[in-house]
């Protein structure tokens, strides 16, 4: 019985540490939309910022035309490549403490068929390779059909 309690306590402490680790990430993401209303199935742009709030350098894998590895926390939101260009290769970008990396992300909202009314969609973005995801602030857009 004592072994079970010790094992359970250890597991709970481990999960708590993982949760705290994700919340204290030095990489902060912020997104902004110039659009308050968008059309269903049409691309629109978001301004993105990655800020290193920590004390050490962070290496971010990026595409040469702009970092693009974003995911969304809403199932109707699709994130595409940041910028189209001819020479799109993988590079590593160094983000020193206190520095900010700015970019553009192309986003599309794809609402399920069936409803004929507009919908408000609130979502956040995170870099695809972060585990657990370090979500940005939330953005809300009104989607017209």
pLDDT in tens, the chain (145 residues): 444 333 333 333 333 333 334 457 899 999 999 999 999 999 999 999 999 999 999 988 766 555 558 999 999 999 985 455 566 677 788 899 999 999 889 999 999 887 777 899 999 999 887 888 999 999 999 999 8
pLDDT of amino acid 21:
42
Q: pTM score, two decimals?
A: 0.74
Q: Where are the alpha helices (DSSP H) in the chain?
A: 2-23
Rounded to whole angstroms, the Cα distance separating 27 from 94 reads 12
Give the pairing of strands 139-144 and 37-39. Answer: parallel
pLDDT of amino acid 68:
58
> Has residue 106 been placed in a domain?
yes
Total tally of structural domains belonging to the chain: 1
Residues 127, 134: contact at Cβ < 8 Å?
A: yes
Residues 46, 23: contact at Cβ < 8 Å?
A: no
> Has residue 57 been placed in a domain?
yes
> Has residue 10 been placed in a domain?
no
What's the gap between Cα 89 and its chain centre?
21
The CA-atom distances, in angstroms, between 81 and each of 6, 52, 84, 108 are 47, 22, 7, 11
> Has residue 15 been placed in a domain?
no
Q: Which residue carries 């602030």 as its tokens? A: 137
> Has residue 17 been placed in a domain?
no
pLDDT of amino acid 3:
40
> Has residue 12 been placed in a domain?
no
Q: Which among 56, 53, 47, 32 has a CA at the least distance from the CA of 134?
A: 53
> Has residue 59 been placed in a domain?
yes
């Amino acid at each position: 019985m004592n072994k079970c309690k010790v094992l359970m306590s250890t597991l709970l402490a481990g999960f708590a540490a993982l949760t705290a680790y994700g919340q204290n990430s030095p990489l902060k993401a912020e997104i902004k939309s110039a659009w308050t209303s968008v059309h269903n199935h049409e691309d629109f742009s978001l301004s993105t910022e990655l800020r290193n709030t920590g004390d050490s350098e962070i290496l971010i894998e990026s595409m040469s035309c702009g970092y693009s590895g974003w995911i969304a926390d809403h199932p109707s939101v699709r994130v595409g490549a940041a910028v189209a260009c001819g020479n799109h290769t993988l590079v590593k970008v160094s983000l020193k403490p206190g520095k900010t990396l700015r970019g553009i992300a192309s986003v599309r909202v794809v609402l399920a068929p069936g409803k004929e009314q507009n919908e408000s969609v609130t979502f956040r973005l995170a870099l695809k390779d972060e585990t657990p995801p370090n979500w940005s602030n939330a953005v809300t857009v009104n989607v017209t059909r």
